[in-house]
């Protein structure tokens, strides 16, 4: 099999890239190791930045998002039993975010790809990228019990944090920057209308909690738990009791409970792989960088990477100049590191390490009070949350 762009992975990065290339008249093949149902139901991100919303619309993938997505103009910070609303449009010159689940973005992009785009092979596992440093990179993969080779002009590794693509970059050229946090998130889905109409980020002496949603009738909630916690060790009522404690306010706000339909624990880490390009192999999304979910940045960064790649390749095809492709890694990494910084700041602002000292607690509360009390600090948060511009 032969194609211009071989794409490994059908998460948001790979699927959107295939769509952008299709719209630019560039052919691609997507290889995905899992089956379609798995990809469409994997619970992950919920928040799309304004820029991501704009990209999906321009790609012709925004129709259902515009019908079913929930536009959010702010978030609530909760600390010391107090509530503080951050008003995004007022602080950012009109920007907002959209609550529309990653599962739905993937469903929309898969449907479009199967209807209009190039091949998208499920249960096709990439085994290795070969010849990345030369003119004719190849992806060796296994599909329907057989090994096969995809000959490409370019390969984009959109294969997530455990993918194989980045292994093709020589170790001596690679630098990895990493931080793991000594806690994770226990996340639940519950059949109950969200108890607040915007997301609530709560800092509490017992740990962080987040109230989010998937629709007007489905809540998504998270609790900070120690690293290595087993989700099944938490009974449903225990989860609700703990959420209630951490969200408690002085004004009688109530958390509605409902049946929990899913629970799982996500570890928290930051990880950046530099460079994001070697020869004709490019990394995009979680394959190149991981952020802790507190800043809601992972999916949005993946979108930024593939937009940058699609633009650069289109420019090369139209002008013959590889200038933008050559700048891919640096261009992406500038935005990646701003998102890493923002996610780190949100994480350290809101989570309580088990060994936090009373001094550190006071500093955390002072940081929150500063955001609630000084427009410059609040604006900085609002700009980061609604998203850093694409260059
Ligand atoms: P994905 O989604 O992991 O997709 C990679 C795909 O590659 C496939 N694959 C392979 N295919 C073929 N051959 C191989 N050898 C392969 N190896 C892997 C995998 O099966 C998979 O389908 O990466 P991508 O596309 O880069 O997308 C990144 C996002 O998924 C991720 O950053 C976000 O989910 C992070 N994230 C959030 N991001 C946000 O922007 N906003 C949020 O609100 C948000 N909340 C979250 C999150 C992630 C979470 N978890 C579970 C880590 C909340 C949570 C709890
Ligand atoms: C989610 O809805 O899953 C979600 C929302 C905001 C975050 C992380 C996850 O910061």
Long-range Cβ pairs for the range 207-210 (8 Å, 24+): 207/183, 207/246, 207/351, 207/352, 208/246, 208/294, 208/350, 208/351, 208/352, 209/242, 209/243, 209/246, 209/247, 210/185, 210/294
Q: For the chain, how far is it from start to end, CA to CA, in angstroms?
A: 34
Please enumerate in sequence order all residues whose Cβ is within 8 A of that of 289, keeping only pairs 6 or more positions apart, or say none: 271, 272, 273, 301, 336, 339, 340
Q: Which ligand is nearest to the CA of 201?
A: 2
- Rounded to the nearest angstrom, the distance between the alpha carbon of 148 and the centre of ligand 1 is 25
CA distance 301 to 304: 5
Q: What is the pLDDT along the chain (391 residues), one digit of tens a residue?
A: 999 999 999 999 999 999 999 999 999 999 999 999 999 999 888 899 999 999 999 999 999 999 999 999 999 999 999 999 999 999 999 999 999 999 999 999 999 999 999 999 999 999 999 999 999 999 999 999 999 999 999 999 999 999 999 999 999 999 999 999 999 999 999 999 999 999 999 999 999 999 999 999 999 999 999 999 999 999 999 999 999 999 999 999 999 999 999 999 999 999 999 999 999 999 999 999 999 999 999 999 999 999 999 999 999 999 999 999 999 999 999 999 999 999 999 999 999 999 999 999 999 999 999 999 999 999 999 999 999 878 7
Which residues are near ligand 2 (CB < 6 Å)? 45-47, 199, 212, 220, 293-294, 296
CA distance 346 to 291: 11
Nearest CA to ligand 1 atom 38: 298
Token output for 43: 């619970």
Torsion over CA: 342, 343, 349, 353 (sign): negative
Please report the domains of the chain, with CATH numbers, ordered by start residue. 2-72+97-178+269-346 (3.50.50.60), 181-268+353-386 (3.30.9.10)
CA distance 247 to 253: 9
CA distance 289 to 342: 14
The pTM (predicted TM-score) of the whole model is 0.96
């Amino acid at each position: 099999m032969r194609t211009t762009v071989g794409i490994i992975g059908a998460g948001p990065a790979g699927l959107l890239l295939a769509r952008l290339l299709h719209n630019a008249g560039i052919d691609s093949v997507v290889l995905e190791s899992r089956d379609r149902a798995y990809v469409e139901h994997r619970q992950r991100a919920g928040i799309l930045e304004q820029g991501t919303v704009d990209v999906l619309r321009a790609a012709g993938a925004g129709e259902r998002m515009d019908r079913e997505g929930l536009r959010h103009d702010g978030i609530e910070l909760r600390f010391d039993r107090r509530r503080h609303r951050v008003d995004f449009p007022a602080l950012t010159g009109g920007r907002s975010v959209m609550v529309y689940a990653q599962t739905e973005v993937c469903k929309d992009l898969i449907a479009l790809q199967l209807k209009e785009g190039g091949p998208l092979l499920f249960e096709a596992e990439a085994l290795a990228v070969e010849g990345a440093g030369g003119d004719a990179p190849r992806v060796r993969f296994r599909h329907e019990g057989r090994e096969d080779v995809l000959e490409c002009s370019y390969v984009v590794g959109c294969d997530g944090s455990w993918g194989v693509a980045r292994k093709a970059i020589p170790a001596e050229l690679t630098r990895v920057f990493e931080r793991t946090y000594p806690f994770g998130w226990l996340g639940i889905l519950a059949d109950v209308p969200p108890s607040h109409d915007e997301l609530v980020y709560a800092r509490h002496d017992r740990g962080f909690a987040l109230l989010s949603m998937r629709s007007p009738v489905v809540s998504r909630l998270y609790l900070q738990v120690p690293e290595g916690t087993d989700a099944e060790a938490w009974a449903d009522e225990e989860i609700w009791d703990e959420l209630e404690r951490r969200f408690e306010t002085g004004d009688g706000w109530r958390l509605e409970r409902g049946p929990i339909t899913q629970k799982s624990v996500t570890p928290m880490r930051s990880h950046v792989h530099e460079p994001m390009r070697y020869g004709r192999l490019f990394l995009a999304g979680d394959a190149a960088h991981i952020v802790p979910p507190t800043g809601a940045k992972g999916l949005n960064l993946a979108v930024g990477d593939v937009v940058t790649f699609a633009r650069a390749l289109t420019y090369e095809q139209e002008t013959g100049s590889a200038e933008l492709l050559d700048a891919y890694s640096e261009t992406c990494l500038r935005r990646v590191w701003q998102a890493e910084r923002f996610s780190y700041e949100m994480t350290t602002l809101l989570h309580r390490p088990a060994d936090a000292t009373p001094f550190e607690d006071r500093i955390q509360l002072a940081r929150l009070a500063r955001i609630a009390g000084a427009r410059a600090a609040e604006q900085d948060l609002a700009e980061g949350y609604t998203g850093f511009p694409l260059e």
